[in-house]
Structure 1
Amino acid sequence: MAKADPWSVMKVSFLLSIALGICTIVAAVVLWMVMDAMGVFSTVGGTISEATGSNESNGFDLQSFLSLPRVLIFTSVIAVIDVVLATALATLGAFIYNVSAGFVGGVELTLAEDE
């Protein structure tokens, strides 16, 4: 392989990054729902309230801090950053590969048939 077209690499890496971002968001929602159904947030929230001695209403409320909309916003921001960075890094990698392939001639790939 003597050259990788940066435009093609950018398009493919963008599509794969979008797929990874969607998988990340779906996994975060499923994990949050499982943890909420198991009562993890209420149990840990009760433990934090006991440990800090703040049984009144002005204590730290873990359930409102880790609510589903807040987790979705955070996960979406991380997914968008991942899409931008992965696309940029893959495109930069294609440019670097093209420069290095110009010096050494690229990668030789030999395909053989099984008989």
Structure 2
Amino acid sequence: MAWTSPWSVLAASFLVSLGLVVCAGVTLPPVWILLVALGRDPWPPPSWGLVLATVTVVLVTMFTTLCAFFYNLIARCVGGVELTLAEGVPDPTGPAPTAAGPTPGASGGPPPDRTAEGPTTDATAEVPTSAPTTGDPAATDPTAGGPAVGAPSGP
């Protein structure tokens, strides 16, 4: 994204801030009524509600539009932000199909069920290696300074 339209940012931020002010205008009167019923003075007073709402909408809209101008200025120097939406999302159930081989289930049958047995593996399972257990750490650990495993130990 190398450029953003300040008018679009202005309109979107105005609508979002207006929606938040409407939400506050719906939720604050019951809070004020409850505070008055408890004998406490509500702050801000209800008479200031419209003034604070107007100032909030204007300031939020100005700030986001100013940020859009700064983004355009910085993006002109550095090139912007690369944004990719839902393209090339890897399949969490297995590796991506290669160009050389068919995709799973492409032969007309259903795709393989990987939930019952877990992910299938090719013939790449690890083979455990076993070292001789002679009790001598130099015979089993090549970094211990002794002869390596399988190395001749005599003259």
> Does TM-score exceed 0.5, indicating one fold?
yes
Counterpart AA for 1:92: L
Question: How far does the alpha carbon of each residue in 1:77-96 deviate from its partner, in whole angstroms, 9 at most, with x for none?
Answer: 11110000000011000000
Match of 1:89 in 2: 63
- How far the C-alpha of 1:114 sits from its partner, in A, is 4.1
Gaps of 5+ in 1: 45-61
Distance 1:113 1:33, change over 3 A: same
Query: In terms of Rg, which structure is larger?
Result: 2
Match of 1:50 in 2: none
Counterpart AA for 1:113: V
Counterpart AA for 1:7: W
Question: How far does the alpha carbon of each residue in 1:41-85 deviate from its partner, in whole angstroms, 9 at most, with x for none?
Answer: 2xx5xxxxxxxxxxxxxxxxx6xxx6xxx9332121111100000
Measure, in 2, the Cα distance between the counterparts of 1:72 and 1:21. Answer: 14
Measure, in 2, the Cα distance between the counterparts of 1:14 and 1:6. Answer: 12
Question: Percent identity at matched positions?
Answer: 40
Match of 1:51 in 2: none
Structure 1 stretches (4+) deviating beyond 6 angstroms? none
- How far the C-alpha of 1:30 sits from its partner, in A, is 1.6
Asked if the contact 2:32–2:46 (Cα under 8 Å) also holds between the matched residues in 1, the reply is no
Match of 1:24 in 2: 24
Alignment of 1:28-39 (within 5 A): 28-36=28-36, 39=37
Asked if the contact 1:28–1:75 (Cα under 8 Å) also holds between the matched residues in 2, the reply is no
Bigger relative contact order (CA 8 A; separation at least 6): 1
What is the aligned counterpart of 1:75 among 46, 49, 52?
A: 49
TM-score, normalization by structure 1: 0.67
Match of 2:80 in 1: 106
TM-score, normalization by structure 2: 0.51
Match of 2:38 in 1: 40
| Equivalent residues, number | 88
Asked if the contact 2:3–2:80 (Cα under 8 Å) also holds between the matched residues in 1, the reply is yes
Asked if the contact 2:6–2:65 (Cα under 8 Å) also holds between the matched residues in 1, the reply is yes
Measure, in 2, the Cα distance between the counterparts of 1:107 and 1:31. Answer: 43
Question: Is 1:6 aligned with 2:6?
Answer: yes
